[in-house]
Amino acid sequence: MSTARTRAVRLTRWGGPPVLTEVARPAPTGEEVLVQVEAAGLCRSDLHVIDARPGALPYRTPFTLGHEIAGRVVERGPRAAGPAVGERVVVYGPWGCGRCARCGAGAENYCDRRAVLDRDRAGTGAGLGRDGGMADVVLVPSGRLLVPVGDLAADQAAPLTDAGLTAHHAVHTAARSLADGSNVVVLGVGGLGHLAVRILRATTPARVLAVDVREGALALAEECGAHFGTLLRPDTAEVLRGRTDGAGADVVLDFVGGPSSLELAVAVLRAGGELAVVGSGGGEVAVRKPGALPPGTRVSLPFWGTLPELERVVALAREGALRVETETFALSSAPEAIERLRAGAVRGRAVLVPD
Ligand code: FEH
Ligand code: ZN
Ligand code: ZN
C-alpha cells in the first residue's frame, strides 16, 4: 500500500537552508491528533533555530519547522481526546512532559522536566525538534494541546499561539504595575509588539508609549492604539520621561532584548517598576546593587505562555478585540518569507499558507 506524501519545510542539517520537500503523511496513534494545517506563523525564533550551530540546540535534524499553527483536525488516534475530527483549532506550541505540576496546570512553557526532555533530545514542541506546522499536516501528541477557534480566519488564528500568547503572558506578568495612571513602554513593534499594544489597550488602563527603529512600525503602533510613538534615538529616554511628567515607565516590555533596547529600558524605568525581557536580541542587563537599574525594579524573562492564557487570547480574537496584522506567503515561498523576516521587512506577522 503506497504511503501518502505531504509537503513540509524542513531543516535537514544544522547550518543548511530550510527546504520544501515531501515526507510521509503521519498516521496518529494513541492520543495523537493529525491536524491539516491552514496557516503557520513565522517567528524570529525560527531564525535562531535555522541559524543554530551544530549542538547549540537539543534537537536532532531533520525536522519540520513552524511552531505557530492553525488548522483543522482530520484524524485522531484511538485514545485521543479533545476537539473532534472536522473542528478548526490552534496548536499550543510548548510541548512539555504533560505529567509534572507545571504541565498539570497548563503551564507547559515552564515544564519541570524540560531538562530531561532536552537531555533525551525529545524536542520542546512543534518546529522545535519535533515536526512542526510549516507543512500540509502536523501530528500533535495530544488533544490537550488543541484550542478550538470556531470560524476565526486561519491567518488571524495561527499568530495567536505564539506572538499573541507571548505578548499576553508578558502583559499579564506585569499586570499589577499596569494600574490606572501608569505608563508602559513597548520596545519593538513587530509581530509580538503590535499585539502587546492591542492587548494593553484592550485589558489595562495604562498609557502605552511605543519605540521602534522603523517609521512603519510606529504607524502600526498608532493603529493598534498606542498613545505615543517615537523612533529609537540617543535622546529617546529624555523624550519618554518628558511624556511621563518625568516619572518614567512603570513597566517596560522589551520585545527586542538587544543591547540598545535594554540600555533604553534601564534609562527610562521608574523606581519600583517592572522590566520584562521578552526578545532574545543578545542584550544583557546587570542586576546588582547599587547598579544601573533603579531601586525596586522587578525583572522578568517571560517565555511563551500557558494553555489557559491561549484560551483567553483566542476568546479576545473571536470577540474582535485582537486583530493581527499579517503578511501572508504561500508555503512554497517560505524561503522568501524567511529572508523578509530576517531583513525586518515584514509588517506585523508573516504567515505561511499551504498553496
Ligand atoms: C520558542 C522556542 C524557543 C525559544 C523561543 C521561542 C519563542 O518563539 C516562543 O514564543
Ligand atoms: Zn516563536
Ligand atoms: Zn512537564
40 CA from centroid of ligand 1 (Å): 14
Q: Measured from the CA of 43, which atom of ligand 1 is nearest?
A: 8
Nearest CA owner, ligand 1 atom 5: 45
User: What does the pLDDT read at residue 69?
Assistant: 98
Looking at every residue in the chain, the average pLDDT score rounds to 96
User: What does the pLDDT read at residue 2?
Assistant: 55
Q: 120-158, pLDDT tens digit by residue?
A: 888 899 999 999 999 999 999 999 999 999 999 999 999
pLDDT at 1 over 90: no
Which of these, 63, 46, 30, 37, lies nearest to 144 by C-alpha position?
Answer: 30
**What residue ranges do the domains of the chain occupy?**
5-162+305-353, 165-300
Query: How much is the pTM?
Result: 0.95
Q: Measured from the CA of 124, which atom of ligand 1 is nearest?
A: 2
Cα torsion 332, 317, 32, 47: sign: positive
User: What does the pLDDT read at residue 5?
Assistant: 86
Residue appearing with cell numbers 499594544: 197
- Tell me the mean pLDDT in the region 156-184: 97
Which of these, 318, 322, 326, lies nearest to 167 by C-alpha position?
Answer: 322
Which of 111, 162, 255 gets mutated to test ligand 1 (max ligand atoms within 8 A of its CB)?
A: 162
Rounded Cα distance between 129 and 280, Å, is 19
Q: Are 62 and 130 within 8 A, CB to CB? A: no
Would you state the cell numbers that stand for residue 12, as one nine-digit string? 535537514
Lining residues, ligand 1, CB within 6 Å: 43, 45, 67, 128, 162, 166, 304
Q: Are 42 and 135 within 8 A, CB to CB? A: no
pLDDT at 54 over 70: yes
- Tell me the mean pLDDT in the region 324-334: 96
pLDDT at 284 over 60: yes
Rounded Cα distance between 188 and 207, Å, is 16
127 CA from centroid of ligand 2 (Å): 10
User: What does the pLDDT read at residue 212?
Assistant: 98
Which of 45, 65, 168, 253 gets mutated to test ligand 1 (max ligand atoms within 8 A of its CB)?
A: 45
User: What does the pLDDT read at residue 122?
Assistant: 82
67 CA from centroid of ligand 2 (Å): 7
Q: 226-242, pLDDT tens digit by residue?
A: 999 999 999 999 999 99
Q: Measured from the CA of 128, which atom of ligand 1 is nearest?
A: 2
- Tell me the mean pLDDT in the region 13-32: 96
What would the CATH number be for the domain defined by 165-300? 3.40.50.720
149 CA from centroid of ligand 1 (Å): 22
Q: Measured from the CA of 305, which atom of ligand 1 is nearest?
A: 10
Q: Measured from the CA of 48, which atom of ligand 1 is nearest?
A: 4
Q: Measured from the CA of 162, which atom of ligand 1 is nearest?
A: 10
Rounded Cα distance between 216 and 222, Å, is 10
What would the CATH number be for the domain defined by 5-162+305-353? 3.90.180.10
124 CA from centroid of ligand 1 (Å): 9
Would you state the cell numbers that stand for residue 324, as one nine-digit string? 493581527
User: What does the pLDDT read at residue 4?
Assistant: 86
Ligand of minimum distance to the alpha carbon of 301: 1
Residue appearing with cell numbers 499596569: 178
Q: Which helix (H) or strand (E) holds 126?
A: strand 125-126
Ligand of minimum distance to the alpha carbon of 279: 1
- Least confident interval from 16-30, 108-122, 202-216, 260-274: 108-122
Higher pLDDT, 344 or 171: 171
pLDDT at 348 over 90: no
- Least confident interval from 4-13, 118-127, 249-258, 308-317: 118-127
Ligand of minimum distance to the alpha carbon of 106: 3
110 CA from centroid of ligand 3 (Å): 7
